[in-house]
């Protein structure tokens, strides 16, 4: 395993990206959310999980927290994403179901997970994904799947991006990934 931690999982605070702490006792996590984003979660409860969704400054910006209380430690957690991809052709169900203006996925990839990152989040299993989509504006996608014992989380963050596909990786890191780091870098599972 690698020893590196992706930029978007490193703790950071940015003057240009003011956040407030979101403590969600029901979903057993705490993390910063942009100061201007919705204060009240839109809740969805299914037989599989509980979802709390917060909206950003435009329709494509979201923070979506899913928690599965009875996850099977032997199951492949990535099915939580691949099943949705097969169903709607997009990794985020809430955005993929927009039939009037369907999103167009430009990039999507798994990101290597290090032992250091497992320790940072104090979890038994961890998977990371990142991507870029047109929803209709360019939107950077971040997804973290984590499991501790039989509790599993899927945390998704989508942010507006001014950076085109194949932009310089340093530019992506200093702009988009740094803003995501203000959330994922300070994420704690309770």
Task: Show pLDDT as tens, one digit a residue, over the chain (190 residues).
Answer: 456 899 999 999 899 899 999 999 999 999 999 999 999 999 999 999 999 999 998 888 999 999 999 999 999 999 999 999 999 999 999 888 776 778 999 999 999 999 999 999 999 999 999 999 999 899 999 999 999 999 999 999 999 998 888 889 999 999 999 999 999 999 999 9
Pairing verdict, β 151-160 and 62-68: antiparallel
pLDDT of residue 1: 45
Rounded Cα distance, 129 and 143, in Å: 5
Q: Which residues contact 174 (CB under 8 A, 6 or more apart)?
A: none
Q: Check residue 13 and give its pLDDT.
A: 86
- pLDDT for res 59: 83
Q: What is the domain partition of the chain in residue ranges?
A: 28-34+43-189
Of 61, 40, 35, the residue nearest 52 (C-alpha): 40
Task: Please list, in sequence order, all residues whose beta carbon lies within 8 angstroms of the beta carbon of residue 15, skipping any fewer than 6 positions away.
Answer: none
3-state SS class at 179? helix
Quick one: pLDDT at residue 6?
95
pTM of the model: 0.95
Question: Which one of 1.10.3470, 3.30.479, 3.40.50, 3.40.1000 gives the CATH number of domain 28-34+43-189?
Answer: 3.40.1000
Report long-range pairs for 20-26 (Cβ below 8 Å, ≥24 apart).
22/54, 22/63, 24/52, 24/65, 25/190, 26/50, 26/52, 26/67
Q: CA-CA-CA-CA torsion for 42, 33, 157, 175, nearest 10 degrees?
A: 150
Confidence at residue 94, expressed as pLDDT on a 0 to 100 scale: 85
> In sequence order, which ranges of 73-124 are alpha helices (DSSP H)?
79-88, 93-96, 115-121
**Could you say which DSSP state residue 183 is in?**
H
Q: What is the pLDDT of residue 96?
A: 80
């Amino acid at each position: 395993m690698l020893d590196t931690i992706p930029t978007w999982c490193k703790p950071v605070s940015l003057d240009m990206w003011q956040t407030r702490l979101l403590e969600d006792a029901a979903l057993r996590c705490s993390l910063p959310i942009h100061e201007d984003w919705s204060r009240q979660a839109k809740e969805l409860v299914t037989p599989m999980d509980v979802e709390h969704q917060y909206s950003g400054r435009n329709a494509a910006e979201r923070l979506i927290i899913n928690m599965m209380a009875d996850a099977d430690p032997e199951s492949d957690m990535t099915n939580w994403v691949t099943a949705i991809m097969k169903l709607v052709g997009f990794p985020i169900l809430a955005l993929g179901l927009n039939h009037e203006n369907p999103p167009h996925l430009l990039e999507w990839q798994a990101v290597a997970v290090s032992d250091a990152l497992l320790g940072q989040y104090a979890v038994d299993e961890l998977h990371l994904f990142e991507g870029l989509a047109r929803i209709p504006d360019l939107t950077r996608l971040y997804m973290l799947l984590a499991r501790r014992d039989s509790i599993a989380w899927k945390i998704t963050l989508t942010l507006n991006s001014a950076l085109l596909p194949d932009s310089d990786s340093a530019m992506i890191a200093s702009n988009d990934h740094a803003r995501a780091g203000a959330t994922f870098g300070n994420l704690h599972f309770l």
